Chain A
Amino acid sequence: AQSVTQLGSHVSVSEGALVLLRCNYSSSVPPYLFWYVQYPNQGLQLLLKYTTGATLVKGINGFEAEFKKSETSFHLTKPSAHMSDAAEYFCAVIDDNNAGNMLTFGGGTRLMVKP
């Protein structure tokens, strides 16, 4: 089974600063990778996904992520943090042995944005 590791359970940045949230996965085959965001008392919202093709993926709210096979990474970035970006972020993969929709999630990273 695949696993997903998110380095840093809490990340704090200043408003306007670069956001970098790290995600590494374990997989022997090309994975399908996702980033979700969760605001307090809400469900998960898809930010972006990598399936095939271009390795730099652009998502909503100015976020993007780059799939690096050699590093088994899929880090999430945003050039300039906004207060509204404060939330919890989850990296996830579709298990390569699973033909369905089952997602395996990382532990999550809580992003705090300081004024």
Chain B
Amino acid sequence: KAGVTQTPRYLIKTRGQQVTLSCSPISGHRSVSWYQQTPGQGLQFLFEYFSETQRNKGNFPGRFSGRQFSNSRSEMNVSTLELGDSALYLCASSWGASGRLNNEQFFGPGTRLTVL
């Protein structure tokens, strides 16, 4: 079974631009979560989608948005990029709706975004 796929793996943008990152979950998985990883702030939750519905949202400005399609693939968009948005963006997928059950999350390799 293929793992979680994230595209692109590396991206360089300039301030003010916008970017779209893509995540393809493991086949059959309906939950997709996004995390931002930076040296200063560590791993921070962005949002979670389940069956095309946003279930949770982290404490990020409205410039960060996401969506999930009917095939469970997810995209996240960052508009008006700032230098501080440079980070590794990780996507995780799982089959079920709740991490409090026996429901492992599988992470993709991430997209490394550099904002110049």
A residues engaging B (CB < 8 A)? 32, 36, 41-46, 49, 51, 90, 92, 94, 98-108
- CB-CB under 8 A from A108, the residues of chain B are 42-43
- CB-CB under 8 A from B106, the residues of chain A are 46
**Other-chain contact of B48, A32, A42, A44, A100 (Cβ < 8 Å):** A100
Check if B45 sits within 8 Å of A45, measured CB to CB: no
**Other-chain contact of B107, A44, A49, A99 (Cβ < 8 Å):** A44
Check if A43 sits within 8 Å of B43, measured CB to CB: no
Interface-facing stretch out of B13-21, B60-68, B70-78, B97-105: B97-105
Check if B107 sits within 8 Å of A43, measured CB to CB: yes
B residues engaging A (CB < 8 A)? 4, 31, 33, 35, 42-45, 48, 50, 55-56, 58, 90, 92, 94, 97-110
**Other-chain contact of B56, A36, A102, A106 (Cβ < 8 Å):** A102
Check if A100 sits within 8 Å of B97, measured CB to CB: yes
Chain A proximity of B2: nearest CB distance (Å): 14
Chain A proximity of B64: nearest CB distance (Å): 15
Check if A103 sits within 8 Å of B105, measured CB to CB: yes
Check if A103 sits within 8 Å of B45, measured CB to CB: yes
**Other-chain contact of B42, A41, A98, A107 (Cβ < 8 Å):** A107
- CB-CB under 8 A from B42, the residues of chain A are 105-108
A-B contact pairs, 22 of them (CB 8 A): A32-B99, A42-B109, A42-B110, A44-B90, A44-B107, A45-B107, A46-B104, A46-B106, A51-B100, A99-B97, A99-B98, A99-B100, A100-B98, A101-B33, A101-B94, A101-B99, A102-B33, A102-B56, A103-B99, A105-B35, A107-B42, A108-B43
- CB-CB under 8 A from B94, the residues of chain A are 101
Check if B56 sits within 8 Å of A104, measured CB to CB: no
Check if B103 sits within 8 Å of A101, measured CB to CB: yes
Docked pose: A111 CA to B13 CA in angstroms: 32
Chain A proximity of B35: nearest CB distance (Å): 8
Docked pose: A100 CA to B99 CA in angstroms: 6
Docked pose: A104 CA to B29 CA in angstroms: 21
